[in-house]
Amino acid sequence: MYARLSSIMFPIATLLFVGAIVWGYQEHQEKNSVLIKAENQYQRAFHDLSHHMGRLHDQLGQTLAVSSASQGMQRKGLVNVWRLTSQAQNEINQLPLALLPFNKAEQFLSRISSFAYRTAVRDLSKQPLTPEEMKTMKTLYKTAESVNNELGKVQDSVIKDRLRWMDVEVAIASENGPNDNTIIDGFKAMDKQMGAYPEADWGPSAMSSDRKLSDAGLDGKTMTAEEIKALAAKFLGHHAAMGEIAVREDGSKTDLPVYSVSVKGKDKDGSSIQMDYTRKGGHLLWFMNSREVKTRKINFDTARNKGSQFLLRHDYKSMTPITYDEYDHVAVFTFARTADNVRIFADKVTVRVALDNGEIVGLQASDHVFAKKLLTPGKAKLTMEQARKGLNPDFRVENHALAVIENDLRQPTLCHEFTGKINDHRYRIFMNAETGEEESIEEIPSSEKTIYR
């Protein structure tokens, strides 16, 4: 009996054993295939990075070599610097460096890209490169040379010793001891060299791209928590009675310390109010009432009037509604400040109006708080008809207004704003009121409605 049973089970066991071996071999092959593919991708990204960093150094040198009167060649060189830097950033993001302290290098490349782009897009015939910007480019050239030397050492080691990036990934992820790896050491040295670039040497073009919210330009004294509590109670009015007002300080070690205010509702619906005030000056950044809006009972005109009246009550003067959107029975209006019948797009607020009873359930005012306050937008040198000639002939204009926007250098610029349609999509096109050139173009989402007043 046992002999008969074994004669049956032995072949089955053998088949299972062989099957397990085959399955294990296939799994091993598939794993190796995935590892080889990942390694090839890492190697390609690394060697492309080395190539583009070398070309970046060459392009900086060529841009410095041309005459200061050759604005065309300077612009071409700066555009190439921007393109090569963007490619280098993309290749760094493809390498397994997430756990390495490589933030200084990434910031360095980002600021080169911003410097090159924002310098190239301006009219160099009217605003040529300044001596400070030329000095910046010379320093960038020297720094790029040092970085390329270090990158070349790493590349030589990778080729000579057949180093694998998969080993780098394992070494970075390892928690045991120092990461002793040629590639890791090389990239740490690169990060250190790029981080040694002095912050103060960046020119105004690069600085304009790194806008950080800071209380440095805000008016007013440093507020206490009790003073903020009083401001919140005054702003909320009868809502202040819905629960105790709690104030806590946030971001005390940042450029923008704020007070966060919260009021927890007594009702079972879980509604609450959240607000943020700047510590300096006590400026309201945003306000949100989280209550659910279940129905729509008021129309567009009533909602718009409710939003306008709310802004007037809280001393937001000369604000004109420019766009409107709606979702979950809440109307969302964007208001821009107007001066001399000109819309100041950088100085705007967003108001959320509940469509069940017209209550204001949200306000976003940070753009208004940090906007540069223009005393007057100035006068347009070109008429609407003259500016319109620069539009695409197929662009069907629906509305026109004068507006002030920020250009690529973050400078306020007076423009003719044309709203219209082309290729079945609606756009807002801003034509420079002095030069007649396109300053900015933005597509208007299908859900967003433009308000003409």
Pair 190, 261 in one domain: no
Q: What is the CATH number of the domain that holds 312?
A: 3.30.310
Query: What single letter denotes the amino acid at residue 404?
Result: V
Task: List the domain range (segments joined by +) for residue 438.
Answer: 384-450
114 and 178 housed in the same domain: yes
d(CA 155, CA 163): 9
Number of independent structural domains in the chain:
3
Q: Are residues 189 and 139 in the same domain?
A: yes
Helix locations, 261-364, DSSP H: 300-313
Question: Mean pLDDT of all residues in the chain?
Answer: 79
Query: Do 250 and 298 have their domain in common?
Result: yes
* Under 8 Å between Cβ of 319 and 336: yes
Could you tell me the pLDDT band of residue 218, with boundaries at 50, 70 and 90? confident
Residue 89's nearest CA partner among 111, 68, 121, 72 is 111
Tell whether 217 is covered by a domain: no
Hey, how many other C-beta atoms are within 10 angstroms of the C-beta on 319?
22
- Give the residue from 177, 209, 241 where a domain finishes: 209
pLDDT score for 30: 56
Q: What is the DSSP letter of 222?
A: B
In a domain, 60, yes or no: yes
Question: How sure is the predictor about 178, in pLDDT bands with cuts at 50, 70 and 90?
Answer: very low
- Quick: pLDDT tens for 18-67: 566 656 555 555 555 656 766 677 778 777 888 888 888 888 888 888 77
Looking at the domain assignment, is residue 216 inside a domain? no
Cβ–Cβ contacts within 10 Å for residue 357, how many? 11
Say yes or no: 315 and 233 in one domain. Answer: yes
What is the CATH classification number for the domain harbouring 434?
A: 3.10.450
Considering the entire predicted model, what is its pTM? Answer: 0.61
Q: Is residue 218 domain-resident? A: no
Confidence band (pLDDT; 50, 70, 90) for 219?
confident
In the structure, what pLDDT confidence band is assigned to residue 241 with cuts at 50, 70 and 90?
A: low
